[in-house]
Structure 1
Amino acid sequence: MRLKTVMCLICTTVLLASTSAHGQPSAPSTQELLSRFGNAPNGLARYDYLIAVMPLLKGDDKSLAQQLLATVESELGLYNEAVMTFPFDNRVTPPRSTPLPQPDGWQNVDAADAVTELAAKRNIVMVNEAHHDAHTRELTLALLPRLRALGFRYLAVEALSQKDTELMHRGYVTENSGSEYLLEPLYGEIVRQAIRLGYIIVPYDVDNAGEEDRDTDQARTIYEKVFAKDPHAKLFVHAGYSHIDKAAGNLGDGIKTMAMQLKQLTGEDPLCVDQVQFRDVAVGGLDFGFYNSVASKFTSPVPYVLRERSSGAIWSSDPQRHDVTVVLPPASEQDLDINGVMKSDVLRREVVLPRAPFDVSQRPSWLTLNGKRVPVRISTDLCGGQIPCVVEAHYPTEPDAATPADRYTFLHNHSHNVLYLFPGHYRLRAWDASGKTLQQQDIDVPAH
């Protein structure tokens, strides 16, 4: 059955989906698109299918395919491409009654340090992410050891399946642990490091939950798995987008968010940390507006928050919904209008794509995780002439099915790039769209 699926996918890739009676390729239905995507044997096969079928799609189906492609590109280590493919801009313009911070009254501080300080007085900390933008996972990785030291014992993670009952014993996620989000290396690292630190992992997504019931089911599941058994528990939640909002509205009229309902169930006021509003969605372009107005005035190599110089208060762009607003540094300084070329209203949002010069293959510098990981050169020599080809680094005790420490996908022959790895021993593996291993190599990454 697996072979039949692979062969069908390869045929689809070559023929650009189904063919009409006139011999011309025709667009798949939404159901067929999702079915072929879901049945593909691996991320590279999913990528090949979406690239092939994309020119046939229009409207909502094309937007859906772009979102799926961005998720796959993130999984494959193509982080610039992921944001460029789906520059999803759900950022909410701050109210005009709340002026944007200026350097004379505010200073930037490391977000992990500031959130840890605030978390000392809370029992629930919630951080959100943009699913296709792995940069929104850097902060959670930095917070894991800090919050564990404060007594946080539980980590609730979106996208994990409750069916993976061996996760805690095994110590790492696999392709059967939940949704495709978990196959992205930094997401896998969040779960891996949390287990090593002694967290109890709490899957809370409920299968087949409708959009209107999803947040209710999520909050109830977390309550039953954690607080019903341990009333004084300290919980860290990593969730998507508006599920951490402290007020309704962004998920649709009348839908109470997971954070709101968890507060009702537990009586605990969660510390809600947003990092999707002030992030770079203009990778390879120029971002004008409120993100540019803040990010061009404050610089940091890591996610940061803004602290008022006079009061010490931490800034939130939307205090009704979030306690803390995190600003993610741009993928490149060139993504910002640092010279004030665009004389626009600072609250007017505008993204211009693309810009030149821009090398999409140059992986973003934030992948060093503030210097904790080092670049390790790789090339298509590992691919044996097979392109496209994925090169990934596995921890030595983990199998091919485990989400790797890092991976990169070569789309062109005779090229090279880097993986970002913690010091240690790794097994490099190169593989193609059928999942076949092309070559393996053991490497040691020295401390720097």
Structure 2
Amino acid sequence: MKVIYILCLLSLNNILIAQVPKEKYQFSKDINAAIEKDTLAWKYQLGATEYATSGYYHEALTTWDKNGGGFKKLTVEDSLFIKKFNPKNAKEYIIERSKAEQIIIINEAHHNARHRVFTASLLKGLYENGYRFFGLEALSDTLINDRKFPTIKSGYYVKEPQMANLIREALEIGFTLFEYEATDGKNGKEREIEQAENIKKIIDENPNSKFLIHCGYDHVIEGMPKIKRWEKAMAGKLKELTNKNPFSIDQVIYSEKSDLKFTNPVIELVNNTSSVVLIDEKGSLFNGLSNAEQVDCQIIHPITKYYNNRPDWLSLSKESKKYSIPKSKIKEYPVLALAYKDNEYEHEGIPVDIVEILNKEEIPKLMLPAGKYQILIKNKMYEIVSIYTLTIK
């Protein structure tokens, strides 16, 4: 993992917010043009986030990987070690394990929407097992529990549709959401401490409750983080402050990259079609090849398959129906099609899904759970050329 990538994650929030373009959801060509003109050293991180925000999953991976990187080949010893473990469905394992836990911490890569969809797939089962509080690093919205849906002002990363869907689903199920990010200007050790202190306050106020925490990258680490000046990451600091041992889950290390040359070879070795954890005969979880135990559990996500240019995991959390925009609604190409929950667009809501339609031959399908929607069609100048309501049953 490159140092430049780690450093930029620590201090980019204010920069990112300042650079949010007028159009929150953009055509791929416009995102690419902005990246090409950008002179910042971390332009590919910024660009990957913009691609993710507008629903371009593979483009987000590709842009992030322009930073370089990759993984060493597995040694014979590594392969033999991994073969001692058997795959088990990750969702099923975590939900069953959650019965004996009080605090679960799960991370994401901010440019990888798949991680948000997977966390969303856990919500119903966790709620049934007693979890009531859901903390999100990305959230900055004191009114979210009253409003019942996120807006474009709810946090920089929240405007990405799958993050917004994660929040919507949690609210619909009955979770109480809370923010815990450190105050502006806090980075490194101070940020990790303040995040942990903010979470501890909620735990102290609700000592008999169960908590799900969704964070970014290395904040999930209980052991020694890669960034030594942190001393302890948020998860490790929370464990110290509360004297409670969280169940820490990493989604980042064993997730696909844009190309196999960047992808961790463990994913190919396991070669599963669903997200799994690995367990040995003694019931111990695979948590990496290094000697340092940084997290309790590492999820191995499979390589994405695409259907009509849409990732196969989009319906993992909530059953969705595929919906094609009628050609009669499109007068020119290209267009962006954005699907908003009824009554959310007028209140600065966030789309449930977005697709870019480049020509009449290939119209990717929106993925929409049951409900009533407003469909907006925007032309290349970002003008709304069509708007209509739709009910998915």
Bin the TM-score by the shorter chain. 0.7 to 0.9
| Closer, same or farther: CA 298–312 of 1 in aligned 2, 3 Å | farther
Equivalent residue in structure 1 for 2:33, among 46, 52, 70:
52
Q: Which residue of 1 aligns with 2:282?
A: 311
- SS of aligned partner of 1:207: coil
Equivalent residue in structure 1 for 2:242, among 263, 266, 286:
266
- SS of aligned partner of 1:439: strand
Equivalent residue in structure 1 for 2:167, among 191, 200, 217:
191
Is 1:364 matched with 2:335? no
Q: Which residue of 2 aligns with 1:331?
A: 304
Equivalent residue in structure 2 for 1:110, among 77, 82, 89:
89
- SS of aligned partner of 2:42: helix
| Closer, same or farther: CA 44–149 of 1 in aligned 2, 3 Å | closer
User: Contact 1:263/1:270 (CA < 8 Å) preserved in 2?
Assistant: yes
Q: Distance in 2 between matches of 1:216 and 1:90?
A: 30
Cα displacement string for residues 185-220 of structure 1 (whole angstroms, at most 9, x for unaligned residues):
111111111111111101111331332221111111
Q: Distance in 2 between matches of 1:272 and 1:262?
A: 11
Q: Distance in 2 between matches of 1:253 and 1:93?
A: 26
One-letter amino acid of the counterpart of residue 263, structure 1: K
Q: Distance in 2 between matches of 1:422 and 1:111?
A: 23
| Closer, same or farther: CA 36–169 of 1 in aligned 2, 3 Å | closer
- SS of aligned partner of 1:402: coil
Q: Distance in 1 between matches of 2:242 and 2:69?
A: 30
Cα displacement string for residues 231-275 of structure 1 (whole angstroms, at most 9, x for unaligned residues):
233110010000010122323434310001111111110100011
Q: Distance in 2 between matches of 1:76 and 1:381?
A: 24
Where structure 1 has 5 or more consecutive residues not aligned to the other structure, the ranges are 1-30, 333-358
User: Contact 1:100/1:294 (CA < 8 Å) preserved in 2?
Assistant: no
Please state how far the C-alpha of 1:115 moved relative to its aligned partner. Answer: 1.0
| Closer, same or farther: CA 228–108 of 1 in aligned 2, 3 Å | same
Equivalent residue in structure 2 for 1:423, among 362, 370, 387:
370
User: Contact 1:376/1:421 (CA < 8 Å) preserved in 2?
Assistant: yes
Cα displacement string for residues 2-26 of structure 1 (whole angstroms, at most 9, x for unaligned residues):
xxxxxxxxxxxxxxxxxxxxxxxxx
User: Contact 2:275/2:300 (CA < 8 Å) preserved in 1?
Assistant: yes
| Closer, same or farther: CA 292–167 of 1 in aligned 2, 3 Å | same
Cα displacement string for residues 302-361 of structure 1 (whole angstroms, at most 9, x for unaligned residues):
3211222x22332211561111110111024xxxxxxxxxxxxxxxxxxxxxxxxxx997
Q: Distance in 2 between matches of 1:69 and 1:259?
A: 28
Q: Which residue of 2 aligns with 1:123?
A: 102
TM-score by length of 2: 0.85
Q: Distance in 1 between matches of 2:85 and 2:180?
A: 38
Is 1:176 matched with 2:188? no
Where structure 2 has 5 or more consecutive residues not aligned to the other structure, the ranges are 1-11
Q: Distance in 1 between matches of 2:137 and 2:379?
A: 29
Q: Which residue of 2 aligns with 1:166?
A: 143
User: Contact 1:127/1:244 (CA < 8 Å) preserved in 2?
Assistant: yes
Q: Distance in 1 between matches of 2:262 and 2:28?
A: 31
One-letter amino acid of the counterpart of residue 171, structure 1: K
Please state how far the C-alpha of 1:404 moved relative to its aligned partner. Answer: 1.8
Cα displacement string for residues 89-133 of structure 1 (whole angstroms, at most 9, x for unaligned residues):
778779979734788643322211111222222111000000001
Q: Distance in 2 between matches of 1:96 and 1:102?
A: 10
Cα displacement string for residues 56-105 of structure 1 (whole angstroms, at most 9, x for unaligned residues):
445xx1x4222112111111111111111112677877997973478864
Q: Which residue of 1 aligns with 2:295?
A: 322
| Closer, same or farther: CA 123–34 of 1 in aligned 2, 3 Å | closer
User: Contact 2:182/2:195 (CA < 8 Å) preserved in 1?
Assistant: yes
User: Contact 1:47/1:72 (CA < 8 Å) preserved in 2?
Assistant: no
Q: Which residue of 1 aligns with 2:337?
A: 391
TM-score by length of 1: 0.75
Q: What is the total number of aligned residue pairs between the two structures? A: 376
Larger Rg: 1 or 2? 1
Q: Distance in 2 between matches of 1:360 and 1:255?
A: 44
